[in-house]
């Protein structure tokens, strides 16, 4: 009997905003995968960064699709449709697919060793809903995966599933073992999540600063994000007392400046 072959992986991810997050993600994957991740397929949801994305590590192809107007009407993005189309239209040569958010990346070289045949990140606080920041599954099961399932219900039903929340159920229905990955808080509980025992980090909402979704700009502080990016590049995921002081000052200034902007420019003012 021949020895089982080691799994190989293709990363699938969607880019939106500036290049910082997807660039760092691909650099980390290339450095920490031991050659097991052989290529990446990136969907350019900004629809204007194809040339820059094509130069990043591991990138085999950069895809761009016509906007899914029905999904965009729900919450301003078509992330589920983009992932569905990328997986359906790509010819994979690897045994497994890794779906990653662009602001998620491995932090240690053992991340793939800790993953099972099917490993899916859980939404923080949930025991069943899965999150596309990290989803590993065999390429042979890609037809089962539907990131858009029930997403349009978000337009009319509070709590309806976001991108890929049903993927865990879909893959469990195949009868294959599915490992659901709980999160651990990073940055002292103030920002981001760890998975795989601290070997994988997801920042969350990284594109809200770099993209042009004005309705999301106020979700994160652009000034504070500069500190987190600096720590990410240092591979540090905890905050010092000095960091806390800086974040507090930024928080106070942000609230004050946004109130001034609102008073001067009215509802059209963009939060910073």
Phi, psi of 133, rounded to the nearest 5 degrees: -65, -25
Q: How many CB atoms lie within 10 A of CB 265?
A: 10
For residue 23, what is the DSSP state? H
DSSP structural state of residue 267:
G
CATH class of the domain comprising 9-204 = alpha beta
Q: What residue segments make up the domains of the chain, in order of their start?
A: 9-204, 213-272
pLDDT at position 214 is 55
Kindly state the greatest CA–CA separation across the chain: 75
Alpha helices by DSSP H, listed for the chain, are: 20-32, 50-54, 69-75, 79-89, 167-172, 207-210, 222-233, 241-265
- Asked if residue 161 lies in contact with residue 220, where contact means CB atoms within 8 angstroms, the answer is no
Give the model's pLDDT for residue 2. 42
Ordered per-residue pLDDT tens for the chain, 272 residues: 344 579 999 999 999 878 999 999 999 999 999 999 999 999 999 888 999 999 999 999 999 999 999 999 998 889 999 999 999 999 999 999 999 999 999 999 999 999 999 999 999 999 999 999 999 999 999 999 999 999 999 989 988 899 999 999 999 999 999 999 999 999 999 899 999 999 999 998 777 665 555 555 555 667 788 889 999 999 999 999 988 888 788 777 767 676 766 666 666 555 55
Sequence-separated (6 or more) residues with CB below 8 Å from residue 35? none
How far is it, in rounded angstroms, from Cα 12 to Cα 230? 25
Residue 37, classed as helix, strand or coil, is: strand
């Amino acid at each position: 009997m021949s020895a089982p072959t080691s799994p190989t992986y293709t990363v699938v991810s969607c880019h939106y905003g500036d290049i910082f997050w997807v660039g760092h993600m691909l650099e980390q994957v290339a450095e920490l995968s031991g050659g097991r991740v052989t290529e990446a397929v990136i969907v350019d949801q900004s629809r204007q960064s194809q040339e820059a994305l094509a130069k990043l590590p591991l990138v085999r192809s950069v895809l761009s699709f016509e906007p899914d107007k029905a999904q965009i009407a729900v919450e301003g993005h078509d992330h589920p449709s983009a992932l569905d189309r990328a997986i359906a239209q790509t010819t994979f040569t690897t045994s497994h697919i890794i779906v990653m958010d662009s602001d998620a990346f491995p932090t240690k070289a053992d991340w793939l060793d800790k993953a099972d045949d099917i490993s899916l990140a859980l939404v923080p606080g949930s025991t069943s809903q899965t999150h596309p920041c990290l989803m590993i599954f065999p390429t042979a099961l890609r037809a089962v995966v539907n990131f858009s399932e029930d997403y349009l219900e978000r337009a009319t039903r509070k709590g309806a599933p976001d991108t890929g929340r049903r993927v865990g159920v879909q893959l469990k229905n195949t009868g294959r073992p599915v490992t659901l990955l709980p999160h651990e808080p990073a940055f002292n509980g103030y920002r981001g999540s760890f998975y795989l025992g601290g070997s994988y980090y997801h920042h969350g909402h990284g594109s809200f600063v770099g993209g042009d979704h004005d309705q999301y700009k106020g979700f994160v502080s652009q000034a504070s994000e500069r500190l987190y990016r600096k720590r990410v590049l240092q591979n540090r995921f905890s905050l010092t007392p000095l960091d806390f002081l800086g974040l507090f000052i930024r928080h106070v200034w942000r609230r004050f400046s946004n109130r001034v902007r609102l008073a001067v420019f009215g509802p059209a003012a963009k939060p910073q």
